[in-house]
């Protein structure tokens, strides 16, 4: 500190002015002095202390340092012993350390590419179609949509009850001003499933089904020279004692051999898939025991906001639906026909899926025709996909007012019954 600044600080308070203090700080900065933050802490100035450099230990053979490690207590003048790793003679899961990957029993040199419930595929539906060797057909089959058009298969007061289910999920089933998407999307899905289940009196086959949640799926297949696996939990699964009928005839299945799969070169087909070297080969498990009375997967129900830590875009969300629907069908085919690749299945395996974010629905029907997925030629699988079907336009707790005009009224607006008709058609498939 300069002598003039010290003299001013020693004098009376009226002689020490703010302008003089700023002048001294400028003089300190001009002479190379460090500018100090006198009224702001380190946490607010976002300054982190530099990391301490570890002291380098020099070991010279024959000149080992004399330590007090053998005496078991501190001795002045002797060096501190180096810490040694202590191995417990018992297993403690809190301090378990896994061995290196190359020392594990299941380690393999050939990598395996895994798809799980948090995978966000870059190319979306095109990538899923290539990985599963599938022909994508836009729209749902006509014979499936005709199920909900029959008045005998409709629910009494259907539109009114569906609108009440939407209002229950968006307005009534909450104590908050505005419910979260994770809550109302799950409530709406359960409400719609409950409405569909009321048709059990007129359709007894609906009673031979069971809902399962948080089950784990694992299946393996080869695509070209790559080994692929689907593992993880995918959502709510509707199981049935009877398999779903196939959607395409033998001639339509044979015509899929002429279909050419979309390529997205130079992007790798396995991009964004988890690459692992520790895995089990030829793992195949449907998530249920062999004596489970509902062995056939009927429909998978996905929620876009099921995992708040992993939010997928609509294209990647549809990819997730395709992959896990294919995985359930492939796992069932392996149980029926074995793990050896079959060029053409005697009876194709059909599995459906429905995805929603609480307002927009995605509908899909997947038919597994072959388990020979290594090459691009031959019979291919089929998939019917209906994208972005809106159930309603708005569900506002408060009206939207702009320039003193009500643009969107409070309550439910823009209900579209066609979306629930497709939802009901997929539910009734196999029971009518």
Q: What is the pLDDT of residues 179-218, one digit of tens each?
A: 899 999 999 999 999 999 999 999 999 999 999 998 999 9
* Residue 95 maps to a domain: no
* Residue 22 maps to a domain: no
* Residue 98 maps to a domain: no
* Residue 80 maps to a domain: no
Q: How confident is the model at residue 45 (pLDDT cuts 50, 70, 90)?
A: low
* Residue 99 maps to a domain: no
Residue range of the domain that includes 377: 107-428
Q: What SS3 state is found at 231? A: strand
* Residue 83 maps to a domain: no
* Residue 349 maps to a domain: yes
Q: What local confidence, expressed as pLDDT, does residue 170 receive?
A: 93
Q: What local confidence, expressed as pLDDT, does residue 13 receive?
A: 44
Beta-strand relationship, 296-303 and 226-233: unpaired
pLDDT one-digit tens code per residue, 143-161: 999 998 999 999 999 999 9
Burial 21-55 (b: 16+ CB within 10 A, else e): eeebeeebeeeeeeeeeeeeeeeeeeeeeeeeeee
The tally of domains found in the chain comes to 1
Q: Residue 38 pLDDT more than 70?
A: no
Q: What local confidence, expressed as pLDDT, does residue 117 receive?
A: 93
Q: What local confidence, expressed as pLDDT, does residue 210 receive?
A: 95
DSSP 256-307: GGG------TTS-TTTTSEEEEE--TT--B-SS-TT-S--EEEEEEEETTS-
Would you say 394 and 387 are in contact if contact means Cβ atoms under 8 Å apart? no
Name the average pLDDT for the chain: 89
Q: Residue 28 pLDDT more than 90?
A: no
pLDDT one-digit tens code per residue, 55-114: 887 888 888 888 999 898 999 999 999 888 888 899 999 988 899 999 999 999 999 999
pLDDT one-digit tens code per residue, 371-413: 999 989 999 999 999 999 999 999 998 899 999 999 989 999 9
* Residue 304 maps to a domain: yes
Average pLDDT over residues 17-22: 59
Q: What local confidence, expressed as pLDDT, does residue 186 receive?
A: 95
């Amino acid at each position: 500190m300069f002598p003039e600044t010290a003299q001013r600080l020693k004098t009376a308070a009226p002689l020490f002015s703010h302008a003089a203090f700023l002048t001294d700080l400028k003089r300190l900065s001009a002479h190379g002095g460090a500018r100090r933050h006198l009224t702001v802490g380190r946490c607010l100035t976002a300054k982190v202390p530099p990391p301490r450099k570890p002291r380098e230990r020099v070991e010279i053979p024959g000149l080992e340092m004399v330590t007090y490690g053998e005496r078991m207590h501190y001795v002045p003048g002797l060096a501190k012993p180096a810490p040694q790793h202590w191995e417990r003679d018992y297993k403690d899961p809190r301090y378990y350390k896994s061995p290196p990957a190359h020392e594990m029993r299941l380690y393999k040199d050939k990598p395996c590419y895994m798809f799980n419930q948090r995978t966000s595929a870059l190319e979306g539906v095109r990538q899923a179609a290539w990985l599963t060797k599938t022909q994508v057909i836009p729209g749902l089959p006509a014979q499936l949509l005709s199920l909900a058009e029959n008045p005998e298969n409709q629910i009494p007061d259907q539109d009114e009850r569906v609108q009440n289910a939407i209002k229950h999920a968006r307005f009534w089933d909450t104590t908050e001003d505005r419910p979260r998407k994770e809550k109302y999307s799950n409530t709406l899905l359960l409400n719609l499933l409950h409405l569909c289940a009321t048709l059990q009196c007129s359709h007894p086959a609906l009673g031979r089904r069971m809902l399962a949640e948080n089950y784990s799926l694992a299946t393996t297949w080869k695509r070209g020279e790559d080994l692929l696996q689907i593992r993880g939990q995918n959502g709510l699964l509707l199981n049935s004692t009877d398999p779903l009928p196939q959607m395409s005839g033998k001639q339509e299945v044979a015509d899929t051999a002429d279909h050419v799969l979309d390529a997205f070169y130079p992007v790798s087909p396995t991009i964004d898939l988890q690459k692992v070297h520790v895995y089990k080969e030829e793992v195949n498990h449907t998530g249920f025991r062999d004596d489970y009375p509902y062995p056939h997967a009927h429909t998978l129900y996905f929620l876009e906001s099921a995992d708040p830590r992993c939010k997928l875009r609509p294209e990647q969300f549809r990819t997730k639906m395709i992959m896990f629907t294919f995985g359930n069908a492939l796992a069932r085919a392996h149980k029926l026909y074995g793990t050896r690749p079959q060029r053409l299945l005697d009876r194709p395996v059909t599995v459906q899926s429905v995805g929603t974010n609480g307002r927009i629905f995605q509908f899909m029907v997947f038919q597994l025709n072959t388990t020979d997925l290594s090459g691009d030629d031959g019979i291919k699988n089929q998939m019917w996909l209906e994208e972005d079907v809106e159930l309603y336009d708005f569900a506002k707790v408060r009206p939207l007012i702009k320039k003193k005009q009500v643009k969107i009224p409070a309550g439910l607006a823009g209900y579209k019954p066609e979306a629930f008709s497709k939802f009901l058609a997929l539910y009734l498939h196999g029971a009518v």
